Structure 1
Amino acid sequence: MKMEVWSNLGSILATLIFIRSVVREYFPRELCDLFSKSLRRLLGMVSSYISVVIEENDGMKVSEVYEAVQTYLSARSSSAAERLKLKKPKNSRDFTFSMDSNQRISDKFEDIKVRWAFHSIELSQKTRSPWNPGSDEKRYYELKFHKKHKHKIFSEYLPHVITEGKNLELRSRNRKIYTNEYRYWTSVVFDHPATFGTLALETEQKQEILEDLERFSKAEKYYRQVGRAWKRGYLLYGPPGTGKSSMIAAMANFLDYDIYDLELTQVKNNTELRKLLVATTNKSIIVIEDIDCSLDLSDRKKKKKPEKDSEEKEKPSEPSKPEENEPKEDSKVTLSGVLNFTDGLWSCCGSERLFVFTTNHIDRLDPALLRSGRMDKHILLTFCKFGAFKTLARNYLSIEDHELFPEIQDLMEAVEMTPADVAEHLMKTSGNPTSALQSLIEALRDAKERRATAPLNGSISEENTSATAQGEA
């Protein structure tokens, strides 16, 4: 009985298709279009499948959904499609594949099978879009699935495709580092080699930072649930030469984020600062290095009010010399503007962003800038310990152990030296680990002797100065 029904249904469909071809051949175009629409409606009533069309153009620009679907299917089409298109987008690091016209591939989502097809139709002069006159093709993807899965496809599968497509695009593109020129950002390709594997940090501290970053990158639902903008602030502080800039580069490489290196002295006022913030993208790190030197963001309680002495009034005023850390005269960015930039209403104009400030003198900063919600995690990058030294020895000398290591460990417990200074000694004699380690030992011994012979009240400051002088130079 079932075979007879299907046979009759097949005959009916074949007859309808034959009629459609005859109509197209001998009847006016308006009647043909009406018949085609009626036929499609009839076939849709009989069919158990639904088709969703995702067109390339969304008005005057390319549809974001179309681009996300194209990226999502690129990895799958390379192994499933019979004919592929190969290209290398301008901002991508790798080649990408896409389906050629009229190619079909299958996909699976939680035991639901779907089929994707790519279509490209050549347009006549009359049918070209007035919004995109240069396009001579209509390109679109078609998703086909069974009706019984309609709810799950719309509520779960399509959002999964779009999210995964955007993530794949971010991972494959060339990341960039931006700098501001007044109201605008300019960029170059960011290709810094620093990773957490090469950072000179103690293992426990490195692991703690990695876990915090990974937890943040997966916490979109949590931040929305608690009613907070999806952002996090990091303050990196410590002496010069302890790896603050390398830490930022390692963060960007670990998360695949762009970097916006903000120079506050180039910003005229708080309004321009907000405009720069709005122009940043999601999945980015907004950096202000040496924030204590950029503007007057020092602790308001420690500022002394100028004493007005009558004798001083009578003295002729001398031209004041600009201080090294004094901002440019045309910059009117205030502490309040920076606070609102990091934690005000405008800070939520975007998501999945890190605000990273660096300073050599944390005690100079206003406490309002340091509180949780603005700088959520304070990371002290200090002098080189033995664990960090072993990372440097592996990076620069390709060794895991050496007979001179015990002596170096003893000296590092007694002497403070920055990772930058340690690295400089390890680089002096390429290809000869023993000579490099001996050079480091001599420098550590000299620092230890200076500390022993220096006056008690100035020993620490003198040692810190000598240990960091080479890194600052």
Structure 2
Amino acid sequence: MMNPVMNMPGTWGTIGSTLLTVIFFWDMLRRYCPPELRRYLEKCSIRVSQFLNPYVQISIHEYLGSHLRPHEAYSIVEAYLSLNSSKHAKRLKAEMTKDNDSKLMLSMDEYERTTDEFNGVQARNRQRKLYTNGHSKSYWSHIVFEHPAKFETLAMEKKKKEEIIEDLLTFTKSKDFYARIGKAWKRGYLLYGPPGTGKSTMIAAMANLLDYDVYDLELTSVKDNTELRRLLTETTAKSIIVIEDIDCSLDLTGQRTKRKEKSETDSEKKEGSRKEKEESGSKVTLSGLLNFIDGLWSACAGERLIVFTTNYIDKLDPALTRRGRMDKHIELSYCTYEGFKVLAYNYLELEAHPLFQSVAELIKAVDITPADVAENLMPKSAKEGPEECLLNLIHALEEAKSRQITKCTEELKYKDPYHDRCSTRKA
């Protein structure tokens, strides 16, 4: 009887000889076979393999299109296959999960593949992303979106928060409605108010509520309208496109109504216009931005929010803020007593305290932003307790009230007190 171990070299030799023969004939076929016959044989081989293989193969690439647009499904499938990746793939990349900094999520490295034969399970490990085109980039780069803001922690009236939440959730369920009325599935939000009133925090709360990605568009880094259109068409569905401080973005505000002084010569106008363009480094125009918001390009991806923020709504061109472009205007103003109570619970875990009454009286008479209230409620050391923090806030409110009275007194020397805002305070 022949020993199988002794016969192994002969077996491997036979296999190697067969492989060499197949490779030789395949090379000869590629070199000398007419292209038409070669394509026909390739089609036949594909059909034979399809007949023998009962499975359907679906390849999902990370990018698609000539502009390397991110594939919307890639990150979802990657998150779902994270467990299978660690079993089958040999080269993996590790990322920290958003919920637990000590937990790693493994996924395939470049040029790796894995096979999954089970379906019907949703990807629950998908991480939201924050995209930016800053630092003069003509493409999107991203990081994991980890902002913890929630509507429950926003310092604003409960009724107003509920109204905004209902509006957002209604939008996400309105695909058929938008299709029926013939409009792109998008909605514009204009957030306006003084600095420090929580506009950026509101955007983060929106993203966390809806589980949307965020695209923070820096207009001053965009070369022209063509590049703007390309960047915006590369955004995905279920996302929020944000342009913060739109009143400071290039020369987009009040373009059509702005006029130079009559004494200015034509040469001075041309020189000034040239300097403005050189300083900004961008040729993006108001019309170019408007064409994307509600023009033909607005339907390039569905289920998106477009959010503008501004500190000075009066500076914006009416064409930018009209209904249909910015569908919902949300004013984020100075802190109210109800907003203070939210912050007191967030920072001090207090729902009631004897000092609350003093804060209530002062905050009605003083314009103070939620950011300033939060800063005064923040413990400065481990020794400071809730009462010390409340006293710090009361002291800051009293100082602000004193400054406000002094300022109004100076203004009233030159203005009619019956028509000046300083003669009355907010209720």
TM-score, normalised to structure 1, is: 0.63
SS of 1:402's partner is coil
Is the 8 Å Cα contact of residues 342 and 374 (structure 1) preserved in structure 2? Answer: yes
- Supply the distance in 2 between the matched residues of 1:86 and 1:273 (Cα, whole angstroms): 41
1:186 aligned partner: 141
* 1:313 Cα deviation from its structure 2 partner: 9.1
- Counterpart residue number, 1:24: none
Q: Distance in 1 between matches of 2:57 and 2:252?
A: 51
CA 86–377 in structure 1, closer or farther in 2 if over 3 Å, else same? farther
Paired with 2:297 and 2:272, the residues of 1 have a C-alpha distance of 37
Q: 2:407 aligns with which of 451, 454, 473?
A: 454
Q: Which residue of 2 aligns with 1:357?
A: 308
Question: Structure 1 residues 332 and 61, CA, compared in 2 at 3 Å: closer, same or farther?
Answer: closer
- Residue aligning to 2:353: 402
> In the aligned structure 2, how far is the partner of 1:333 from the partner of 1:283?
25
* Other-structure match for 2:325: 374
Could you say what the CA RMSD is over the residues aligned between the two structures, in angstroms? 4.2
Listed one character per residue, the Cα deviations across residues 12-45 of structure 1 (whole Å, up to 9, x for unaligned) are xxxxxxxxxxxxxxxxxxxxxxxxx9xx9xxxxx
Amino acid at match of 2:400: A
CA 96–267 in structure 1, closer or farther in 2 if over 3 Å, else same: closer
SS in 2 for 1:197: helix
Contact 2:247–2:316 under 8 Å retained in 1: yes
Shifted more, 260-269 versus 298-307: the winner is 298-307
Aligned to 1:279: 234
Residue 241 (1) aligns with residue 241 (2): no
CA contact (8 A) 2:277 2:283 kept: no
1:443 matches 2:396: yes
* Count of aligned pairs: 345
More strand by share: 1
Deviation per CA, 1:242-270, whole angstroms, max 9, x where unpaired?
Answer: 01111111111111111111010110110
Q: Specify whether residues 346 and 428 from structure 1 end up closer, same or farther in structure 2 by C-alpha distance, changes over 3 A only.
A: same
Residue by residue over 1:168-223, the C-alpha shift from the partner in whole angstroms, topping out at 9 and shown as x without a partner, is 43x52121111114320111111111111211111111111111111111111211
Deviation at 1:330, TM superposition (A): 2.5
Q: Say whether residues 1:434 and 2:417 are aligned partners.
A: no
Task: Provide Cα deviations, 1:409-466, integer angstroms capped at 9, x if missing partner.
Answer: 1111111100011111111445411111111111212222233333457489999xxx
Cα displacement (A) at 1:328? 3.6
**Aligned-residue offset at 1:329:** 3.9
Instruction: From 236, 256, 261, give the equivalent of 2:216.
Output: 261
Deviation, structure 1 residue 301: 5.5
Matches of residues 30-429 of structure 1 in structure 2 within 5 Å? 53-57=55-59, 93=97, 139=115, 141=117, 168-169=122-123, 171-180=124-133, 181-300=136-255, 302-308=257-263, 328-429=279-380
Q: CA deviation at 1:284?
A: 0.9
Gapped runs of 5+ residues in structure 1?
Answer: 1-36, 41-51, 78-83, 98-132, 144-160, 464-473
| Distance in 2, Cα, partners of 1:434 & 1:60 | 54
The Cα shift of 1:299 comes to 2.4
Q: Which residue is equivalent to 2:7? A: none
8 Å CA contact 2:82, 2:105 repeated in 1: yes
Contact preservation (8 Å) 2:379, 2:389: yes
Shift of 1:399: 0.9
SS of 1:55's equivalent in the other structure is: coil
Q: Which amino acid aligns with 2:240?
A: I
CA contact (8 A) 1:265 1:327 kept: no
Unaligned runs of 5+ in 2: 1-47, 65-70, 98-102, 413-419
Is the partner of 2:298 in helix, strand or coil?
Answer: helix
3-state SS of paired residue (1:295): coil
